[in-house]
Amino acid sequence: MDKPDPSAPDKAFFHRVVETIIRVVAIAMLAIYCFHIVRPFIIPVVWGVIIAVAAHPGFLRLRSALGGRNAMAATLFTVLAIVVLVTPTVMLSDTMVVGARDLRHAVNEGALDIPPPPQGVARWPVIGEPLSEFWELASNNLEGALNQVRPHLKAPAGWLLSLVAGAGVALLQFVAAIIIAGVLLAHDEAGNRAAEAIAGRLADERGIEFAELMRDTIRSVARGILGVAFLQSILAGLGFLAVGVPGAGLWALLCLLLAVVQIGIFPVVIPAVIYVFYTADTSTAVLFLVWGVLVSALDNVLKPMLLGRGVNVPMAVIFVGAIGGFLASGIVGLFIGSVILVLGYQLFMAWLYGTTEAVQDAAQASGPRKNDTEQG
């Protein structure tokens, strides 16, 4: 009678380990290859999902007004979004490219004419005297002024040129995202079931709770922060165009960046107002000043109405998300980064505290909400 081989269990275990490793490697290779295929579409799809989720309540009202015709409502939403959002963006993008090109040509040819500083600039506190001296030097000897700041301008200039070069790609991504959002809204019920199924598989019984938190977070941040920032930058840019501020698209883009990171557009509007008072007639300058004040204060009115309850996150999270997304993916990343990081923060806090209600209670107990402070 043959004795059982004591190494048989070890051999069977070894074969199972080898088979498991082969399967894991095969799946990983397939996943990596699939990722490389879909990578060019990730940003438009993610941005399209964000737009669809944020616009869904308005889409439901539009569909109801059209008698429940889903396809017609989705088509009308897509057309209106492209016309209302993309048309002024195209106008400002054109001025941004032309302004950057003309500025570079004028600097290279020495044809940039800078007027001398007003007399009152030297009396400004802290920065008045050095600013007046540099401004006077630039008006008399632009090359000498540029030589003083040239070492500090290399990095910003390279960043600006790459940003302007990528403006066309960002605009195409924006249009593609709106079209994707329209398709998703046309199949909103199927998309909702798929989202709940995925959340349920990832988080079991808490999947629905997390899915609702994701939806509320996306809507609040997209409308209350990104929507307001986009509206402010567009209105400010149109004002720059109307009064003839050079490079209106560049300043509108800077307004967008500052508004998203919660600094506000005043740092851009104030120099523009000074320029208009210096170069235009008094009535035009006063009208532009009123317009700039109204647009700059717009966030104080709209944010309390659009930011949802419970989405109380530190400004540092929004700032890091916006800047990180901007550096990683350009202009579109400016929008996506803040939403994704705020969403990740909210999900982490919900996991840490156990329930989304506990997250809201902890946020309210940590201090007054920013919106309440603004309303007061």
Q: Residue 40 falls within a domain, yes or no?
A: no
Q: Residue 335 falls within a domain, yes or no?
A: yes
Residue 277 is predicted with a pLDDT of 84
Give how many domains the chain has, as a whole number: 1
Distant-in-sequence, close-in-space partners of 84: CB < 8 Å, separation ≥ 6: none
Please say whether the beta carbons of 256 and 233 come within 8 A. Answer: yes
Instruction: Name the token pair of 46.
Output: 């993610």
Residue 308 is predicted with a pLDDT of 53
Instruction: Give the separation between CA 252 and CA 160, rounded to whole angstroms.
Output: 14
Q: Residue 238 falls within a domain, yes or no?
A: yes
Structure confidence by residue, pLDDT tens digits, 190-227:
888 888 788 777 777 777 777 777 777 777 777 777 78
Q: Residue 8 falls within a domain, yes or no?
A: no
Residue 348's domain spans which residues?
Answer: 70-375
pTM of the model: 0.64
Distant-in-sequence, close-in-space partners of 253: CB < 8 Å, separation ≥ 6: 92, 96, 163, 233, 331
Structure confidence by residue, pLDDT tens digits, 166-182:
566 777 788 888 899 99
Q: Residue 33 falls within a domain, yes or no?
A: no
Q: Residue 59 falls within a domain, yes or no?
A: no
Residue 354 is predicted with a pLDDT of 67
Instruction: Give the separation between CA 159 and CA 54, rounded to whole angstroms.
Output: 31
Residue 26 is predicted with a pLDDT of 92
Q: Residue 13 falls within a domain, yes or no?
A: no
Show the low-confidence residues of the chain (pLDDT under 70). 1-10, 90-115, 117-124, 126-127, 138-168, 305-313, 330-332, 334, 354-376
